[in-house]
Structures are given as structure tokens and as C-alpha cells.
Chains A and B, each alone.
Chain A
């Protein structure tokens, strides 16, 4: 009896030790990815210079000597992502308020799985539909030679991040204590007034978090921007010019860059910039949300 007991005990200890080690290792994955990218791109930061790399307006990686500046792609990335938020935020917040306050229960129960299904559609399908339908539409309507633009990419990205904005904002809105609803409505305030002037201000941190999360997604999205943004290496001058965001640059050029060359290293430096941007966004959202765990402000 005693023997059997100690045997299971040892087995249990092994099991716990095993999963603890796996958990510790798995948390190292992210650090390993970042470190590896840093190591691969080190010559860019040390020899070419980080500032020159980030602000250089010319990308001619195979010229002699190569010119490696990612400013056009950085600007494109930001422009596309911010543009997507500009379009998606009003609709997303509107839909979240609708689901939390206005929708009949059955309709909200229909919309919720639909949001899930929309996130399940792969980005290449969004990119394909955008390119085959939207870009065609722009070309025909505005008589353009090619309808690809940062705007087209933003539009499709907006649809892609919409479900995230809705789901997270709705959660924040629902976390507002019910007493405020009773108090507000019993004072004779109309429902839209209540939603806009009481509910939203109370949930604003959670809603901001939803926006920041969507921003991170939009920056890192590859296929849609690859198929829609037009892929030119010039610094974009308006929402309607073409551009090539960082993910598209990496996807397009990685296969042709010879390992060990400056071109190859520069692509890893570009990847590192992208990761750092996205992680920074993640950290910011964590700080925002940590202060108020439910996403609701106390007054």
C-alpha cells in the first residue's frame, strides 16, 4: 500500500515538473523569436545605422551600394492601419452599443456567432474579394488604370478588424453595472442619450483597448495589404496613393533575398520593427486594461 502510494507520488511529481518545464519553455518562444530576428538583423542596426534604416526614403536592396530605408513602408503600414481604424471604429462601436443596448435578444444571439464566423474567414479570401470586387469597382467608377491604393487596403482591413472591435467593446459595455442603467432610465433619460453619455464614457477604457488591439492586428496583416495596397516603394502622399506596408515587403522579397546579404538582413530588421511595434501596442493595451480589470472606469 505504502509502496504503491509513493509510486504514484513520484509519477505525479514528474508530471508536474514536466508541465512546468514545458510552460517555462513555451514562454521563451516569444523571446526567442525577437532575439533571433535581432541577431539576424544585427549588421543593419550596427553598420547601416538604425536611424538611417528607419528614416531612409529609398529601398534599393540590390543596388551597389544597396540603399536600405524603410520609411515608405513604415508610413504605409501606419497609414493603412490608422485608416482601417478610422472606418471601422464608428461602425464597430455602433454595433457594440447596438448589441449591448438596442438589439432584441434573438438578434444579438444571431450577430454574435456571425462575428465569430467573420473572424474565421481567412485573410487571403478578404484580400481576394477586395482585389477582385472593390478594386475593379474603383477602376470602373473612377476610370483609373489600377484601383489599388492604401484606401482600398484600409477598407478591407476595416471589415477584417470589425469583429474584434465589436466583441471587445461589447464586453466592456456589458461590464457597466446595471444600477447605472436603472438610475439613468428612471430619471427619464432617453435610451440613445443614456448609451452615448453614460454607458460609453464608463466603458471607454475597454473600448479604447478594443481599438488598440485592432490596430495591432491591422498593422501585422499581410495578405490583404499585399493584394490591395499596390506595392510601390514610394512614400505615400495621400490615402489614395499606392504603398507597400512592411508585411507585404517581407512576403514579397524574402524568397529572392540571398541569405547573408544586406538585403536579407534588412528584411529581418523590417520584421523586428514590425514585431516591436505590435508588442508595444500589446503592452500599452495591457497597461490600460490592468488599471481597470473589467474595462469599466470607476468615477
Chain B
């Protein structure tokens, strides 16, 4: 075998290995979590409250699940309407306006802000200045700031992906702009927009750093009172591990969190492919 051939074989081998490595990572993570945590997940764990001493070393994670749901709900309430409005502006009305470019650039750059910085900002503004304290409300605000650019970018792209001919034909037929938007463009972008919202939802549910400084408590009832701290799944996982409370519960919590997020992610991917099929028509 000559040298050229050998290099080719080695390179091809390397490309294959690095491609299969990606698959291996996901499979390994899932398999390991299921192996270590799967046995500890039962109804008691999902629907029970932390117990034992220190609190959390035994018992369930129900308040953490509730807290995460509350946080995500608030984040979406705060971010969906402004996010969609900005996306509609960027895709439908701002195309020829000078404002659109800086808005686009700034929102795009916002996706890069480290989540801990969002936490820092909300801590100073809401927790300290507005005297909300460590609270569900502050956490909701922090998460909404974090997912807002995600919603804008994904919805904008979903709207832009709608075939431009619809806009042209509507305009040519003298259909009003708002009718075109609400009855023609938006319905076609709905799967893509929903996919973006789901993505944002998953992103918010898994975020730890921003709620760690604004909303999370080690133990709380998470009953939805806006100005009280809450428990949250990712933070609970961090505490379980870092404070050496219970490794078994930590694995089980991680598994619950990952399965939840993978389900949301898969749903988003499915919606996204639906949108692509829509646009092909």
C-alpha cells in the first residue's frame, strides 16, 4: 500500500470515528443515567416531597417539578408576546426600515449573553432594587430574558420561511396587510413558531445559573406564590450532588430532567420538520 492510500484510509477512519462519537455520547449519557437512576424513579419519587436528614437525602422531587413548571410558565408568559411581536416586525414590516438592522443585530447578540450575566442583572434589578427578594417572580423574569431572543430568532425564521409568493399574491389581490398576516402567513408559520417556543421552554427548564441567584431555594413548597423562592429541578440536582445529600436521588433527578427535556426537544424537532414539509408545498 502506498503512502497516499494509507493517509486516505486513516483520514476516512478519523471522519467515521468522529461522526460515530456524537452518537456514542448521547447513548452513553442516556444509558448511564438510566442505569444509575432508573431504579429510583417511581410514583413516590415523582409525587413525593424531600424527606430525610438533611432534607432531600430521601423522598421525592415533586416541589422541584412544580417549581420548574411555574418558572417556565412565567418565563413564557413574559417573553412570548414581545418575542412574537418583534419577530413579526422583523419578518413582515421592518424589511425596508432602517430600524430593522440594529434590532436584528442586537437581538441576535442577546442569544450570546451568558446566562449567569442575565442572573446578575435580574438580581441587581429585581431582587435588590425592586426588593422582590429571591423569588419565583424574579426567576421568571430572568428566564424570560434568557429565552426572549430564542423566541424572536426562531419565530422570525419560521415566518421568513413562508413562501414569499403568498405575500405577493395577497398584495396583488388587494388583501389588507393584517388579513394577510393573520389568515395567510401566521397559520403557515405556526408549527415553526411552536417549535421555537418548545425550544425556549426546554432551554428555560434546564437553566440553572440564572435561577440559582434569583429564585431557587434548597427547600420550598413551590406553591406558586410570586414573591417566594421556589425549588427547581436543575438547582435541586446541583444541591443534591454538591452538598453530598444523595447520589442516587441526584441520578434519578438528572434522569427525570433529561427525559423531560428530550421529549420536549423531540416534539420541537417534529414540529419543525412539519413546517418544512408545509413550505415545500
One of A47-55, A109-117, A139-147, A178-186 at the interface? A109-117
| A278–B85 touching, CB < 8 Å | no
| B22–A162 touching, CB < 8 Å | yes
| A117–B266 touching, CB < 8 Å | yes
Given contacts A19-B93, A190-B4, A192-B12, contact A128 B241 (CB under 8 A): yes
Contacting residues of chain B (86-141) with chain A, CB-CB under 8 angstroms: 86, 88-90, 93-94, 99-100, 102-103, 105-110, 112-121, 123-125, 128
Q: Is the interface of B mostly helix, strand, loop or mixed?
A: helix
A78 at the interface (CB under 8 A from B): no
A62 at the interface (CB under 8 A from B): no
Given contacts A97-B15, A190-B4, A190-B8, contact A24 B103 (CB under 8 A): yes
A168 smallest CB distance to B (angstroms): 13
A191 to B13, CA, bound (A): 12
| A125–B254 touching, CB < 8 Å | yes
One of B23-31, B53-61, B157-165, B183-191 at the interface? B23-31
| B15–A98 touching, CB < 8 Å | yes
A247 at the interface (CB under 8 A from B): yes
B262 at the interface (CB under 8 A from A): yes
B207 at the interface (CB under 8 A from A): yes
A103 at the interface (CB under 8 A from B): yes
A238 smallest CB distance to B (angstroms): 25
Point out the residues of chain A lying under 8 angstroms from B83, CB to CB. 26
| A250–B17 touching, CB < 8 Å | no
A123 to B206, CA, bound (A): 7
A95 to B20, CA, bound (A): 8
| A23–B90 touching, CB < 8 Å | yes
Point out the residues of chain A lying under 8 angstroms from B258, CB to CB. 121-122, 125
B203 smallest CB distance to A (angstroms): 8
| B22–A114 touching, CB < 8 Å | yes
Q: Which of B15, B99, B117 contacts A33 (CB 8 A)?
A: B117
Contacting residues of chain B (224-280) with chain A, CB-CB under 8 angstroms: 234-235, 237-238, 241-242, 247, 250-251, 254, 257-258, 261-262, 264-266, 269
| B117–A37 touching, CB < 8 Å | yes
Contacting residues of chain B (51-97) with chain A, CB-CB under 8 angstroms: 82-83, 85-86, 88-90, 93-94
Residue of A nearest to B241 (CB): A128
Residue of A nearest to B255 (CB): A125
| B207–A122 touching, CB < 8 Å | yes
Q: Which of B14, B22, B85 contacts A115 (CB 8 A)?
A: B22
Given contacts A23-B90, A120-B202, A122-B234, contact A110 B23 (CB under 8 A): yes
Contacts beyond the supplied A16-B177, A227-B241: 7 A-B pairs with Cβ under 8 Å: A23-B90, A37-B121, A118-B25, A132-B251, A195-B11, A196-B11, A255-B213
- Which 9 A-B pairs give the minimum distances between C-beta atoms? A220-B114, A122-B206, A94-B18, A98-B19, A222-B209, A192-B11, A23-B89, A120-B265, A27-B103
Q: Which A residues lie at the B interface, using CB under 8 A?
A: 8, 11-12, 15-16, 18-20, 22-31, 33, 36-37, 40, 90-95, 97-99, 101-103, 107, 110-111, 113-118, 120-125, 127-129, 131-133, 159, 162-163, 166, 190-193, 195-196, 216-217, 219-223, 227, 247, 250-251, 254-255, 259, 267-268, 271, 274-275, 278-279, 281-283, 286
Q: Which B residues lie at the A interface, using CB under 8 A?
A: 4, 7-8, 11-12, 14-19, 21-23, 25-26, 29, 32-33, 82-83, 85-86, 88-90, 93-94, 99-100, 102-103, 105-110, 112-121, 123-125, 128, 145, 148, 152, 176-178, 202, 205-209, 212-213, 234-235, 237-238, 241-242, 247, 250-251, 254, 257-258, 261-262, 264-266, 269
